[in-house]
Amino acid sequence: MREEESPARTDGPARHLWQIFSTMFVIGLFTFGGGLSMLPQMTRVFVKKRGWVTEEEILDYFAVSQSIPGVIATNTSVMIGYRLAGMAGALCAALGATLPSFLVLVVVTVFYQTFVTHPVMLGALRGVRAAVAALLFFTVWGLRENTLRGLESVLLCLCAVTLVFFLNVNPVWVILGGILLGIARTLYRAKRGPG
């Protein structure tokens, strides 16, 4: 039963934990622009390349990670690591996801004045921001089939976009509202029955 839940475990637990850590480390090392920018890489690696989780599962992990305190990429990493190898997998995934940022931050802190005043670095950061925006757009576009199912989902999505971008409602309230609507919808359908 545990083997079905952990499709990546093929060469023993130590190798499997190393795969989780190293995969998250590489994703963390080559992802710029904050936690959300790791999501496209996570989708590509965990769903399409390794097959460790399904697209629907990773959407659920993203939703839960966004709804709880902490960095979304680290939260998602911990949940995927836990699914694959229990608590040890969660720890390896969290360490792999955060260690690159920590190491780069140490270097940037030591050479802070050089980084913030150097024109080449400022240009590089502008380019990275544009690339991150494109990655996020294509991730959302790629996940639309599993997210926007039916008119109800499309309307909820449009309401959320309107509340956040046009009415400046804090995203936390929109997420909490989505949770409450989902619970209410489930309870209503359960009470109404299959008919």
pLDDT, position 18: 92
Asked whether residue 56 falls in the same domain as residue 126, the answer is: yes
| Alpha carbons 83 and 77: distance in angstroms, whole number | 10
Q: Containing domain of residue 152, as a range?
A: 148-195
Asked whether residue 138 falls in the same domain as residue 155, the answer is: no
Number of structural domains, the chain?
Answer: 2
Asked whether residue 86 falls in the same domain as residue 153, the answer is: no
pTM attached to this predicted model:
0.57
pLDDT, position 2: 40
Residues 6+ apart with CB under 8 A from 92: 17, 18, 20, 21, 24, 81, 85
Residue 125: closest CA among 32, 34, 27 = 32
Per-residue pLDDT of the chain (195 residues; tens, 9 = 90+): 344 444 444 455 677 899 999 999 988 887 766 666 677 788 888 888 988 888 888 888 888 887 788 778 888 889 999 999 999 999 999 999 889 888 888 887 887 777 777 788 778 777 877 777 777 777 777 767 767 777 877 888 888 889 988 999 988 888 888 888 888 888 888 888 765
pLDDT, position 67: 76
Q: Are 17 and 96 in contact (CB under 8 A)?
A: no
pLDDT, position 46: 87
Asked whether residue 180 falls in the same domain as residue 125, the answer is: no
